[in-house]
Amino acid sequence: MSVLEMRDVVMEYRLREGLRTTRLRAVDKVSFELPPGRTIALVGQSGSGKSTIAKLLMQLERPTSGSILVDGEPMQYRGARAAAYRKAVQMVFQDPFGSLNPYHTIGHHLARPVKLHHPDFSREQVADRVAELLRRVRLDEDYVGRKPHELSGGQRQRVAIARALAPEPAILVADEPVSMLDVSIRLGVLNLLAALQREENLGVLYITHDLATARHFSDEIMVLYHGAVVEHGPADDVILNPQHEYTQLLAEAAPAPERRLAELGH
Amino acid sequence: MSSPVLSIENLSIDYLAETTVHAVREVSLTLERGEILGLAGESGCGKSTLAYAITRLLKPPARVTSGRVVFSSREGYDVDLSGLAGDDLRAFRWDKIAMVFQGAMNSLNPVLRISEQLEDVYLTHRPELTKAERRIRCGELLERVGVDRNRLRAYPHELSGGMRQRVMIAMALALEPQVLIMDEPTTALDVVVQREILLEITRLRAELGFAVIFITHDLPLLLEISDRIAVMRAGLIVELDDALTLYTKPKHPYTRRLLSSFPSLTGERGGFVRSGDLASVELDETEQTIEAVEMESR
């Protein structure tokens, strides 16, 4: 299993306004280390740079400066080491209605990454592996032949999780994995993620703006504000005893019925 | 708070699709003057259909099969909404009952300035106003929801999501309606902006005295802002109580399940959370059928 590390990563976008260009610093000197088996939650408002960090990790953007390391070695964008990196880091997207192709069966979605990462597998081996993946996310094997529209949101998101697990990754980047799901099944999907994480000793980067689930489902929380990490620490400390004023603002803003009900009770 | 401003009696709505879908079943509700009534439920439970029925916005294949909605005006007369048609309906909508739509931040017209879209309300409902008066009123409206007056000349894409949402609320408040229906008004916004909007709504309600039906799936949020909460499932209202009772003594199992779906931010770490024990958690949406609700109720 591998350790993922970001060291002083800066990402700047060039914005053009007529003839002038300005620079927008989307990620400002972010450093963290994600060891196997740990969950780090990345919280912050919209526009704070959460998704840019995910893009950097998925190699969809290249950092302006700083480095991303796997087991101490810098990440590569081409060659065999890049292929190994892309296998090791997988992503679960926010929208399960958009991230599955409506034309393809569930089996196809899961078989593709298996084939890509195991070109030597026979057809039977691929089918076995797909069935096993479905079992791991607690879906029946007969879902292989179904199309995404036949599945509910929660089931689709589990397919998306199975797809991310197909290349046997070491790190999972989950960008708001439950915010599009119905509330009564959110905890179930998060619990499933936690169980799979334990089984495989995965490192998970959980990107969210929901502080309550961030606290309950992660070991550490990083608070991002204008691209910079303003607070980083054990989950309970950050939420229950926020030091930075921005974290305090976030914690204040989150709905907390107890506060009002205490007033009503008297 | 004695006379209700809105009473819904036995309202049922069907969608006449290939198989008839009973979206709302015999719902009875009253909305007191100046009250915030929360309507909680998950997707497909009929909460938006109910909101559209109250504003008479339903189109075929939806059909109201029974019941009625009565609006009691502040001035002391009652209107049966199903009896309205044509110009009367047009004059009634927005003037008495206004609505902030789901995904409101995307419901502004991208090719018109904010001013044109706000003035449109006055052009239709207050044709006697002069152009200058309309301008002034629109400016006041924006300031009331905390947006600078000179943003009137802006196009929607020049505003942030939260500001667009405020413009939509301003538009709904333009004619000082007595009832405001908000369908998931803060869903796409982040927590900080959501908090600002909520404070704004509570402040405006105190100032203008309108009643609110607040529709969302976010139960903790409702517990914080509403006076009473109705929990809806499969077209039925399974529980209706004041916020404190609903939180401390939920009667219906579905209400309990919804409440337990939200881990507490500051409270104890619940045992169910991150246990990795999948036997106790639900992964599948239980089907929302009337039988399922009856089973749960037993």
pLDDT at residue number B166: 87
Rounded CA separation B243/B250 (Å): 10
From the list A154, A195, A249, which residue is nearest B276 (CB)? A195
Contact A41, A222 (CB under 8 A): yes
**Which amino acid is residue B233, in one-letter code?**
R
CB-CB neighbors (< 8 A) of A152 in chain B: 284-285
CB-CB neighbors (< 8 A) of A263 in chain B: none
Rounded CA separation B214/A20 (Å): 46
pLDDT at residue number B101: 85
Q: Which 8-state DSSP code applies to residue B209?
A: -
Burial B90-108 (b: 16+ CB within 10 A, else e): eebbbbbbbbbbbebbeeb
The pLDDT mean for chain A works out to 89
Mean pLDDT value of segment A29-46: 91
Is any Cβ of chain A less than 8 angstroms from the Cβ of B279? no
Say if the Cβ atoms of A212 and B264 lie within 8 Å: yes
Which residues, 6 or more positions from A222, have their beta carbon under 8 angstroms from its beta carbon? A32, A40, A41, A42, A43, A229, A231, A232
Domain A34-65+72-254 has CATH 3.40.50.300: yes
Give tens-digit pLDDT for A112-158: 999 988 899 999 999 999 999 999 998 988 899 999 988 888 899 99
pLDDT at residue number B215: 92
Say if the Cβ atoms of B278 and A212 lie within 8 Å: no
Rounded CA separation B54/B96 (Å): 11
Q: Check pLDDT > 80 for residue A27.
A: yes
CB-CB neighbors (< 8 A) of A217 in chain B: 273-274
Q: Check pLDDT > 60 for residue A55.
A: yes
Q: Which residue has the higher pLDDT, B172 or B290?
A: B172
Tell me the Ramachandran region of residue A223: left when phi exceeds 0, alpha when psi lies from -120 to 50, beta otherwise: beta
pLDDT at residue number B287: 62
Rounded CA separation A192/B271 (Å): 15
Mean pLDDT value of segment A227-254: 90
Q: Check pLDDT > 60 for residue B281.
A: no
Between chain A and chain B, the number of residue pairs with CB atoms below 8 A apart is 134
Per-domain boundaries in chain B:
103-176
Give tens-digit pLDDT for B113-125: 999 999 999 998 9
Give tens-digit pLDDT for B55-97: 888 888 888 888 888 998 888 788 888 888 888 888 888 888 9
Give tens-digit pLDDT for B98-111: 999 877 678 899 99
Tokens of B36: 């915030």
pLDDT at residue number B157: 87
Burial of A204 from C-beta contacts in 10 A (0-12 / 13-18 / 19+)? buried
Tokens of A163: 């797809």
Q: Check pLDDT > 70 for residue B189.
A: yes
Q: Which residue has the higher pLDDT, B272 or B70?
A: B70
pLDDT at residue number B1: 47
Which residues, 6 or more positions from B99, have their beta carbon under 8 angstroms from its beta carbon? B51, B55, B57, B172, B180, B181, B182, B183
Say if the Cβ atoms of B266 and A253 lie within 8 Å: no
Q: Which residue has the higher pLDDT, B151 or B280?
A: B151
Say if the Cβ atoms of B274 and A191 lie within 8 Å: yes
pLDDT at residue number B274: 59
Q: Check pLDDT > 60 for residue B276.
A: no
Nearest CA in chain A to B275: A191
pLDDT at residue number A101: 92
Q: What percentage of chain B reaches a pLDDT higher than 90?
A: 21
Say if the Cβ atoms of A192 and B278 lie within 8 Å: yes
Q: Check pLDDT > 70 for residue B286.
A: no
Q: Check pLDDT > 80 for residue B185.
A: yes
Q: Check pLDDT > 90 for residue A204.
A: yes
Give tens-digit pLDDT for B248-266: 888 888 888 888 888 877 7
User: Considering just the CA atoms, what is the radius of gyration of chain B in Å?
Assistant: 20
pLDDT at residue number B229: 93
